[in-house]
Structure 1
């Protein structure tokens, strides 16, 4: 199987899962040379936010308090880099990871499955964050955080407010965010320089697996058919992607001037 065939096989279920494709107007904005720094800065932010979200899910639902402290310790060098501009911690954190195993919380049947899937996701998202920062450094781009766009916040408004429905919906939302990331990497990659093109293509496999892991967890915890929730949240996600957006970000909608 050629690389292009493999990528098409990866992307086919994602295209079927998402309710719309990324509009061409967003792609046109993303590939403008003057937006490269914003694209990379926000990409790095997205990788960190993805790891933080996974950590929050583990801490809230799947582990005891002492294990929660281990997760916070793992995240600290990355958060210090972003929020306190401490640049030295990440190189050391690459070698460390979790300093001890996490202890599953009693009384939640899916604790270990959630831990296993989310810890793997966190490791990969931290690694992707490191890779984006390294690319920026090679291009003499200064890293700084950006205010978040409205995409994730808009999706979270779809989550129900009683358990376990809240957890199920947040897992479905996580699946849509990961699937959209994968789709957008594939959309912009052909227009980018060789280094970025290869990098974005290299991310497709993990992003595709992440969305599937989120969905599998949602289905297992629900213990029944969740197609109605997938549809409702998917329609909301598509509406956000197709709506005019004044702020350009990796998951933003149609650039307002093009809408």
Structure 2
């Protein structure tokens, strides 16, 4: 299997089973990718509503939300090209299981929220890289390759925000704990093809 650059925060690398499942179900992966981009924009907006006094967070996530919506539109153009209608999908346990780890009291909630968002973006970067490396459609592979850098940047935005609001030692300890949970969620392949399954 072709490898992509490992994101240091991830504890385990995605295996060949996910790649094979994704490539065999590209239309479903594209539809799920559309959902992921919209959720990512919503996540950024939710941060802005919850923490309006955090000026740097609002500024950074305004740009990020705009970019996620641009990606949503680009993915939807691919859906239209391939004749895939927008439709609801069952969510894999990935996001809900990660969010269940979130502590409820501030400032712990802010730290956990930023780190969970960072982990999701890091995994997105890795998986889009695998799609770019293995997709049999050269144009779609090029599209995924083009999105990889954005996902890495988004991971970095959330990590840097966490680093600006919290002590580095506290951040790294909690990130390590959450990254272990993140990798454990993906040990068993979700039976329905998803970007995060």
Q: Residue 12 of structure 2 aligns with which residue?
A: 20
Q: Residue 182 of structure 1 aligns with which residue?
A: 125
Quote how far apart the aligned CAs of 1:224 are.
Answer: 4.1
**Over residues 127-173 of structure 1, what are the superposed CA-to-partner deviations in whole Å (9 max), with x where a residue is unaligned?**
11100111111112212121211101010111112101011001000
1:168 and 1:222 in contact (8 A); partners too: yes
Q: Residue 108 of structure 2 aligns with which residue?
A: 165
Q: Residue 93 of structure 2 aligns with which residue?
A: 150
**Over residues 92-145 of structure 1, what are the superposed CA-to-partner deviations in whole Å (9 max), with x where a residue is unaligned?**
xxxxxxxxxxxxx3xxxxx22101111111111101110011111111221212
Q: Residue 131 of structure 1 aligns with which residue?
A: 74
Tell me, what secondary structure is at the counterpart of 2:65?
helix
Quote how far apart the aligned CAs of 1:246 are.
Answer: 3.0
Question: 5+ residue gaps in structure 2?
Answer: none
Paired with 2:134 and 2:191, the residues of 1 have a C-alpha distance of 23
**Over residues 196-239 of structure 1, what are the superposed CA-to-partner deviations in whole Å (9 max), with x where a residue is unaligned?**
11110101111101101101111221234211101000000000
TM-score by length of 2: 0.93
Question: 5+ residue gaps in structure 1?
Answer: 1-7, 63-104, 106-110, 253-259
Q: Residue 84 of structure 2 aligns with which residue?
A: 141
Q: Residue 98 of structure 1 aligns with which residue?
A: none
* Greater Cα offset, 42-51 or 153-162: 153-162
1:164 and 1:222 in contact (8 A); partners too: no
Q: Residue 65 of structure 1 aligns with which residue?
A: none
Two-structure CA RMSD over aligned residues (Å): 1.3
2:151 equivalent to 1:212: no
> How many pairs does the alignment contain?
192
TM-score by length of 1: 0.71
Q: Residue 222 of structure 1 aligns with which residue?
A: 166
**Over residues 22-64 of structure 1, what are the superposed CA-to-partner deviations in whole Å (9 max), with x where a residue is unaligned?**
11101110001xx1221011000000000001100100111xx
* Greater Cα offset, 235-244 or 168-177: 235-244
Paired with 2:156 and 2:133, the residues of 1 have a C-alpha distance of 25
Paired with 2:70 and 2:61, the residues of 1 have a C-alpha distance of 14
Q: Residue 195 of structure 1 aligns with which residue?
A: 139
